[in-house]
Every structure is written in C-alpha cells, then in structure tokens.
Amino acid sequence: MMAPEVPQKTGSTDTSAAPRRFKRFKLILFLAAISFICVAVLLALRSANTKRVQKVADAAIQADVQVVFPQKPPASVELQLPGHTYAYYEAPIYAQTSGYLKKWYYDIGAKVKAGDILGEIDTPEVDQELSQAESTLATAKAQLALAADNFNEAKRLWQTNVDSKRDFETMQADYLAQQSTVDGDADAVQQLQALENFKFLRAPFNGIVISRSTDIGDLIVSGSGQKLFIVDQEDPLRVYASVPENFAKQVQVGTKADLSLDEFPGRLFPVKRPVAWCLYRGAFPPRQRWKHPLDPC
C-alpha cells in the first residue's frame, strides 16, 4: 500500500517572516535616530555652556587700565550744595499780662512795621487795680501837701521861738513819712501802668506775620508760654548748607557764593555779604554752616 502524501507550505512561510524583519529594522533605525538626536542636543548644550563659561572667565581675567596724566589743580573749585533758607530774625510774641483778647489787627502773611499793634488784650483786673492805685496816689499827694504846710508852719514857729523844737520834729517826721508813702504809691502806679501797656502786642521789627494762634475772646494767661504771634524778618535771609569734610579747609570767611532757587530756574542770586562758617562740636555732629549775611558764630 502506498502512504498518502502530506502537503508542504514552503512559499507561505517565507512570505510572512519578511514583513516582521522589516518592521524590526525600522524600529531599530527609529531608536537609533532618536538616540543620535539626543546625543547631538546634549553635545550642543554642553558646547554652548562651555563657551559661555569661557567668555565669563575671559572677561574676569581681563583688567581695564585707565591712564591718567598729572595736571595742575584749578585755582578754584565750584561746589554745589543743597541749602535751607531761614528768616534773619524770628520773634515769637508772648503775653506779659493776663486777660482776654479784645482784637487782633494783623493776620498771617501781613507785613508789619516795628511798633505796629498786632493785637489788644482786655485786662479788666489790671484796669481796676490801676484806677485804685491812682486814687491812692492822689490821696497820698493831698496828705503830703497838708503835711508840707504843717511842716513849714512848725518850722516858722520854731525859728521865732513860738513853738517848741519837739513839735517841729514831729511835723518834720510826718512830712517825711507822707513823702515815702507818695513814692511807694507812685511806684505801684508805674508798675501797673507797665502792665497796662503790655495789653498792646507790638511788632518788634519790620517783617511778616507768619503765625497767629489766638482769636477774639480767647483767655490770655501771662507766663503760659503760648506764642500769640510770630513775626519773621525775611530781608535779608539766612542760608544754611552742610559742607563736606574734605572741603572744610577750603571754605573760609569771605568765600563768595551764589544762590539758586527752584522757584527761579536758570537764575543766580549773588550773596551780597561774605560767607561765614563755623564748626559745631559737642552734642551736634560736625557740620559747617553757611550764613547770609555775615553773622558771628
């Protein structure tokens, strides 16, 4: 008997293995390309970082040298310093008698002259005391006049031997006592009259009223320390500036200076009087003060 023939698949097996090998080859190529790109990127980043570090290192190594030639110093050096302007004089006006403000005549910003009345204080107690003192003085003067007549009469009678010396001395002592009483009453009236004059608040010099801290009807107490008015004399002005220590020796009495103000750009105002300076010591830090006009330290 003959065995049956088994069919063989030779062509189909070779045909299915070829696509798998081709896919595996493409995967390998893809992975190789990615690895190559990653290596290339890493190498590029490393090269850029190396160049940057080398550039910084080269810049640090290099040293800039500036050549300076000796020159003769200038005869004068222009020094610009910030300063502060102040009034030449500033006078606070205090009350020297007690009472109530009756009226004020000048407000803030008003120009005044020396002796102008800034305000008036109503002082009823001082007025009453002054009136009483004047009455007492008038009585004392009348009694003095009577004592003087009695003294003169006693003197005449004693000289003519009509009256005794004892009566004359009595009249003389009475006359001297009345004279002392009149002098004491006159001093009291003069003192009250001075307080009466203090009821008028006057400007001490020509200037501008920069402060008024009282109004009509306010209680004014003498010795309270309240500044009722403040008057500034702003012509001329004082200018203060701090001078650096390295210029201290160059600033001397008589040094000329110009003043510039922000309110007047481009303009210079010459100082009309020499510059003076003084060095503060002790509790204050060392500084120099420029003053306009010249004022001794």
The domain spans of the chain are 89-120+200-234, 124-198, 242-297
Cβ atoms of 252 and 279 closer than 8 Å: no
Closest CA to 207 of 110, 94, 106, 84: 110
Q: Give the H or E element holding residue 153.
A: helix 124-159
Answer whether 260's CB lies under 8 Å from 269's CB: yes
Give Cα separations from 234 to 152, 260, 295 (angstroms).
64, 17, 15
Instruction: Please tell me the predicted confidence (pLDDT) of residue 103.
Output: 93
Give the whole-angstrom CA distance, residue 123 versus residue 6: 150
The predicted pLDDT at position 72 comes to 78
Q: What is the pLDDT of residue 169?
A: 77
Say if CB 102 and CB 216 are below 8 A apart: yes
Determine the longest span between alpha carbons in the chain, in angstroms: 217
Q: Judge: domain 124-198, CATH 1.10.1740.110.
A: no
What are the average pLDDT values for consecutive 10-residue runs of the chain, which has 297 residues? 46 57 76 82 80 75 76 75 85 91 93 93 86 88 85 77 72 84 88 86 93 92 90 85 78 78 86 58 39 41
Angle between helix axes 124-159 and 165-197 (nearest 10 degrees) is 160
Quick one: fold of 89-120+200-234?
OB fold (Dihydrolipoamide Acetyltransferase, E2P) (2.40.50)
Short-list 76, 26, 84, CA closest to 256: 76
* Confidence (pTM): 0.55
What is d(CA 201, CA 118) in angstroms, rounded to the nearest whole number?
Answer: 5
Contact of 260 with 267, CB cutoff 8 Å: yes
- In whole angstroms, give the CA distance from residue 285 to residue 242: 11
Dist CA 177 CA 146 (whole Å): 12
144: Cβ–Cβ under 8 A, 6 or more apart, which residues?
175, 178, 179, 181, 182
